[in-house]
């Protein structure tokens, strides 16, 4: 005889139905976070691919003002939020065109602060996925335990050890176990996927921030390239001011 899931649910006791309701709530929470997290990371990657080359171009042109404005236009990009926030913090220090070692230290601290806040934002919701993935099987196991108890109670009431006396309790136990696993497996998959994705985004933020710090270092010393003073002097000397008399 075929028994539908609806018939099995109706035949469950109140405790087993409560377990199923809890698992359903956990499933809704995890699915909501999966969709939101996937969409946010997708938008972050799309905007970062547009932001990065334009931002690098502004740095090469020593146009910090436009670089900050550009970062403000890409609010969903994780790299834009980190670099834009850091530049905004130190903009008053380097707006006169000169960069000191102290300014670079301030920039590094600003980048670290922005990265910490961004990583916290990126990881938001992963704790829920980890909790659902770790606890849903045990919640289903709790329903399994009570289903076995009901099976033995049915056996005691009927006074018989036949399969008919315990089949309802066993079916109830198996359903809650299966539902717990059904909730947990996608949550674990999603957690591992998003954790790896966030690690990649963190690497992108680290690389981009190091690139910006290198740009500031080049403005201080010629050890990493021509200083800003050297570039401006060469530009002035080649703009037609005439030969220098000796």
Residue 242 resides in a domain: no
For 169-221, write each residue's pLDDT tens digit: 677 777 888 889 999 999 999 999 999 999 999 988 888 888 878 777 776 55
Question: Residue 181 has which token pair?
Answer: 């696993």
Q: Virtual CA dihedral for 81, 192, 210, 76, nearest 10 degrees?
A: -20
Residue 87 resides in a domain: yes
Residue 239 resides in a domain: no
Distance CA 43, CA 36 (A): 11
Residue 45 resides in a domain: yes
- How large is the average pLDDT for residues 78-96? 74
Residue 2 resides in a domain: no
Are 129 and 30 a contacting pair, CB within 8 Å? yes
Residue 194 resides in a domain: yes
Domain housing 49: 12-133+187-220
Whole-prediction pTM value?
A: 0.73
The winner for highest mean pLDDT among 3-12, 118-127, 228-237 is 118-127
Q: Virtual CA dihedral for 145, 146, 151, 152, nearest 10 degrees?
A: 80
Residue 93 resides in a domain: yes
- Count of domains forming the chain: 1
**Residue 10 — very low, low, confident or very high, per pLDDT cuts 50/70/90?**
low
Distance CA 80, CA 208 (A): 9
Residue 124 resides in a domain: yes
Distance CA 33, CA 190 (A): 9
């Amino acid at each position: 005889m075929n028994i539908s899931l609806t018939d099995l649910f109706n035949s469950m006791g109140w405790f087993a139905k409560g377990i199923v309701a809890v698992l359903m709530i956990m499933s809704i929470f995890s699915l909501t976070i999966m969709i939101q997290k996937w969409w946010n990371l997708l938008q972050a990657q799309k905007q970062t691919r547009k932001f990065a080359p334009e931002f690098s171009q502004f740095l090469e042109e020593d146009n910090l003002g436009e670089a900050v404005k550009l970062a403000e236009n890409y609010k969903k990009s994780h790299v834009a939020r980190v670099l834009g926030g850091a530049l905004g913090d130190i903009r008053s220090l380097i707006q006169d065109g000169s960069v000191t070692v102290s300014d670079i230290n301030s920039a590094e601290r600003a980048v670290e602060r922005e990265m910490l806040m961004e990583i916290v934002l990126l990881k938001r919701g992963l704790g829920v996925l980890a909790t659902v993935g770790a606890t849903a099987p045990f919640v289903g196991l709790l329903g399994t335990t009570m289903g076995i108890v009901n099976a033995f109670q049915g056996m005691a009431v009927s006074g018989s050890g036949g399969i008919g006396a315990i089949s309802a309790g066993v079916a109830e136990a198996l359903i809650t176990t299966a539902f717990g696993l059904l909730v947990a497996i996608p949550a674990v998959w999603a957690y591992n996927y998003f954790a790896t994705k966030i690690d990649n985004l963190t690497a992108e933020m680290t690389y981009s921030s190091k690139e910006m710090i290198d740009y500031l270092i080049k403005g201080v010393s010629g050890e990493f390239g021509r200083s800003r003073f050297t570039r401006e002097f060469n530009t002035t000397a080649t703009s037609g001011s005439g030969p220098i008399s000796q």
